[in-house]
Structure 1
Amino acid sequence: MASQFIYTYIRHRDEKELCRMEMRAFFGHDVEDNVIVSDIAVDPSRSPFVQTRLEVLLDAGSLELLAEKASELEINQLFKTVCLNDMKLARTAKIGHDDRREIERTIGLRIKGEPELDHPEVFIGIIQLNDHWYVGNLLYSSSDWHVHQQKPHMYSTALGTRLARAAVNIAVPHPEGKRVIDPCCGIGTVLVEALSMGIPIEGRDINPLVVYGSRKNIDYFDLEGNVTIGPISEVDEEYDVAIIDMPYNLFTHITAEGQLEILKEARRFAKNCLIITIENMDEMLEIAGFEIADRCLARKGTFSREVVLCK
C-alpha cells in the first residue's frame, strides 16, 4: 500500500497564491487550507511554507481506537510523541495545550519502545483531522535556508529568498534527471536556493560584475555551481527547465524587444520555463511560442510579481 503523507503549512496572507501554486507543482492539486494530504513524498525543508510532514503509520476514527492500534507499533529509536493540533487545521479546531500533552502521553505509553522527551532520535506525530486520527513518522521543516537572506553580494531589486525558493520548487518540483538553467541569473538568488536543495542548476548572465557576485554568493554558502558570462543567445545546449527573473526597464535599460528576445531564446533551448515578471507578458509569451500552464501573483505589501509557468 502506498504511503500517505499529511503536510501542515504556515504562510502569510500575501503568500497564499504562491503557496498554492507550489502545492500544485508538488502534489498535482492544491487546497485553500493549511493542511494537505498526498501520497507524494516531498522533503518538507524544501518549501518555505511547509511546517511538518507526517508519514501515516496508523489511523482510527477515535482517539481510543488510535491508542489501541498504537500498542501494535514498535519504535526502535528513542522517540517523542508530538500532537500537531497546536493551531486550527482546515476545519479542525486547535486542541489546547493540556489536552495535547495528555494525548501525547496516552499514545506514547502504548507504543513499544523507549520514549525520550529531551533528546529524541525520532518524532512520532499525532494529528486529528475532521474527526479522524493519525499517527506517523514526523519530520519538521528545517529553517536553515533563512541564512540565505543575508548574502555578501545583494541588490535591492533581487528576488526575495522565499519567492526564489518557491519558484525553484514550482519550476522543478521533482528534479531527478532534469537539466536546469537560470540564463539571467543576476547575483544568484535562484541559484543559491536550487543548489542548497541539491538541484543541479547552471547560471548565466551577460554582466560580468553580477556573475562575479553570484559566484561569490554560491561560494559563501559552501555550494558548488557553474556560472557563465555571456548573453542568452549563446546558450547552445538543451535544458528541461529555464527559470528567468525577467529584467525590466524600471531598473535596467532593457526594452520590450529585448524582453521578447529573451523569451524567444528560452523557447529555443528549454522545454519548460518559469517566468517571474513585474508586468503582464502574456502576449510576448504567446509570440515566443509558450503555452501558460499555471500562474499566480506573488505579493509583498503593495508590490507584486507574476509567476508564470510555461510549457
Structure 2
Amino acid sequence: MHNDGGKPAFIYTYACSEDELSLCRMELRCLFGREMPPSIFESDIEVDVSRSPFIKERIDVMYGGDSLPEIYTQTEQVEVKGKTFKVIFVKTNDLSPENKIEYDERRVIEREIGMRIEGEADVNHPQLVYGIVTLGGRWYFGNYQKNKATWFRQMKKPRSYSIALSTRVARAAVNIAVPNPAGIRAIDPCCGIGTVMVEALSMGINIVGRDINPFIAAGARTNIAHFGFTSEVTLGDIADITEHYDVAIVDMPYNLYSRITPGEQFSILVNARRIADKVVIVAIEPMDEMIIEAGFTITDRCIAKKGLFSRHLMLCQ
C-alpha cells in the first residue's frame, strides 16, 4: 500500500449527506478499489480532486512523521523558488473527540511550518498551497488540492425536466462507470437531456449519446453546447446501435412518466449488454431479475435517495 518507507502518496478527505452515503461509498470503491473509512483515507491512487461531488481535499504527501516536530524539521527543506505560499491545517482527521485540535492550536501549527519555509507567505492569494494533516497517529505534509466544484455551474441547464438525474448523482454515476478515463469510449444510449453526458464531457471523457425522442435529443444538444462541450447525440433506438463501447451508462426510462413496457425495458438491457463491456444502470427500482435475465452480473450497487425518491445504481458486467 505504501511507497518509500511507509508514506502514502495521497491523503483525501470527503463528506456526504446521509441520503448520499450509499452513493458516495460506491463511487469511492470504484475510484480507489476498496471500501473507505469515514471522512479521511490514504491511497496511492491519484484521482483529480474536482471529479467527485464528495471528495473535498487531497494532500500530495511530501513528508510524514510520528510527531509535529519531525514534520517541522522536514519542512525546512521545502523550496518555494520565489513563489508565495500558504499552509493550511486540514480539519478533517481521525482524532478522537478528546484529542481534537482547536482553532488556536491549528493556527499555531500553520505558523510554525510557515516560519520554517524560506519564502514569502501570502494568506489571501498564494501561488503555492501546502497542507498539514494527521491520520492514523501520524502527521503528513504536502501540496494541498481543494475540490473546485466546477460542476455547480452545470446544475443550471437551458433545457431541463423534473425527472432528470440530479447533477451530483449523474457525476457520481460517471465516476462509477469510468474511474480511469484514458482510452475509454463511453455511450449514453438513452441520454435524455444530456445530464450524464455533460458531467462526463466536463471530465474529458469520450462519450456519445442517443435518444429515441427528437425533442429530447435536441435538448441534450442544446445543453452540451451551452457548456462549451462537443459530442455527438444521434436520434434513434438503442437496438440500431452497431458500434461497440467500453462502457454504457443507462438511465432507464420510467413507467411513471413515459409509456414504457417491461418488454421495452428488457430490450434496452439486452441491447446495452450487446453494445458495451460494462454497464451502469440507473433505475427507480431494483431490476435484478430483468438485469440477470439480460445476461449481466451485478458487481456493485447503491441507492441514491432524494426525499422520498430513490435511484438504484447497479454496476453490471
Query: Match for residue 270 of structure 1?
Result: 276
Query: Match for residue 36 of structure 1?
Result: 41
Q: Cα distance, 1:13 vs. partner?
A: 1.1
**Which amino acid in structure 2 is aligned with residue 226 of structure 1?**
E
Contact 2:297 2:316 in 1 (8 A): yes
Q: Cα distance, 1:92 vs. partner?
A: 4.7
User: 2:172 matched to 1:166?
Assistant: yes
How do 1:114-153 and structure 2 match up within 5 A? 114-153=120-159
User: 2:73 matched to 1:68?
Assistant: yes
Contact 1:30 1:36 in 2 (8 A): no
Structure 2 alignment gaps of length 5 or more: none
Contact 1:20 1:32 in 2 (8 A): no
Provide the C-alpha distance between the structure 1 equivalents of 2:95 and 2:236, rounded to a whole number of angstroms.
52
Q: Cα distance, 1:91 vs. partner?
A: 4.2
Query: Taking structure 1 as reference, are residues 174 and 92 closer, same or farther at Cα in structure 2, changes over 3 Å only?
Result: farther
Moved more, 289-298 or 3-12: 3-12
Query: Match for residue 114 of structure 2?
Result: 108
User: 2:313 matched to 1:307?
Assistant: yes
Provide the C-alpha distance between the structure 2 equivalents of 1:92 and 1:13, rounded to a whole number of angstroms.
21
Q: Cα distance, 1:144 vs. partner?
A: 1.8
How do 1:9-24 and structure 2 match up within 5 A? 9-24=14-29
Query: Match for residue 295 of structure 1?
Result: 301
Contact 2:94 2:134 in 1 (8 A): no
Provide the C-alpha distance between the structure 2 equivalents of 1:17 and 1:113, rounded to a whole number of angstroms.
44
**Which amino acid in structure 2 is aligned with residue 47 of structure 1?**
S
Contact 2:302 2:312 in 1 (8 A): yes
Structure 1 alignment gaps of length 5 or more: none
Provide the C-alpha distance between the structure 2 equivalents of 1:246 and 1:172, rounded to a whole number of angstroms.
18
Query: TM-score, normalised on structure 2?
Result: 0.95
Q: Cα distance, 1:75 vs. partner?
A: 2.2
Q: Cα distance, 1:95 vs. partner?
A: 2.3
**Which amino acid in structure 2 is aligned with residue 38 of structure 1?**
S
- Structure 1 segments of 4 or more deviating over 3 A? 90-94
Q: Cα distance, 1:182 vs. partner?
A: 0.1
Contact 1:92 1:129 in 2 (8 A): no
Q: Give deviations 1:80-101, integer Å, cap 9, x for gaps.
A: 000002x4x3345542211111
Contact 2:167 2:199 in 1 (8 A): yes
Provide the C-alpha distance between the structure 1 equivalents of 2:249 and 2:274, rounded to a whole number of angstroms.
14
Query: Match for residue 157 of structure 1?
Result: 163
Query: Match for residue 185 of structure 2?
Result: 179
Provide the C-alpha distance between the structure 1 equivalents of 2:302 and 2:122, rounded to a whole number of angstroms.
44
Query: Match for residue 4 of structure 1?
Result: 9
Q: Cα distance, 1:113 vs. partner?
A: 3.0
Provide the C-alpha distance between the structure 1 equivalents of 2:41 and 2:96, rounded to a whole number of angstroms.
13
Provide the C-alpha distance between the structure 2 equivalents of 1:92 and 1:209, rounded to a whole number of angstroms.
55
Query: Match for residue 55 of structure 1?
Result: 60
CA RMSD of aligned residues (A): 1.2
**Which amino acid in structure 2 is aligned with residue 48 of structure 1?**
P
**Which amino acid in structure 1 is aligned with residue 179 of structure 2?**
P
Contact 1:73 1:111 in 2 (8 A): yes
SS of equivalent residue, structure 1 residue 166:
helix
**Which amino acid in structure 1 is aligned with residue 141 of structure 2?**
V
Q: Cα distance, 1:136 vs. partner?
A: 0.4
Q: Give deviations 1:32-57, integer Å, cap 9, x for gaps.
A: 40112100000010000011010100
SS of equivalent residue, structure 2 residue 159:
coil
Across the two proteins, how many residue pairs are aligned to each other?
309
Query: Match for residue 255 of structure 2?
Result: 249
SS of equivalent residue, structure 1 residue 42:
coil
Provide the C-alpha distance between the structure 2 equivalents of 1:302 and 1:37, rounded to a whole number of angstroms.
34
Q: Percent identity?
A: 50
Query: Match for residue 90 of structure 1?
Result: 94
**Which amino acid in structure 2 is aligned with residue 152 of structure 1?**
P
Provide the C-alpha distance between the structure 1 equivalents of 2:287 and 2:243, rounded to a whole number of angstroms.
25
Contact 1:78 1:121 in 2 (8 A): yes
Q: Give deviations 1:202-226, integer Å, cap 9, x for gaps.
A: 0000000001100000111111111
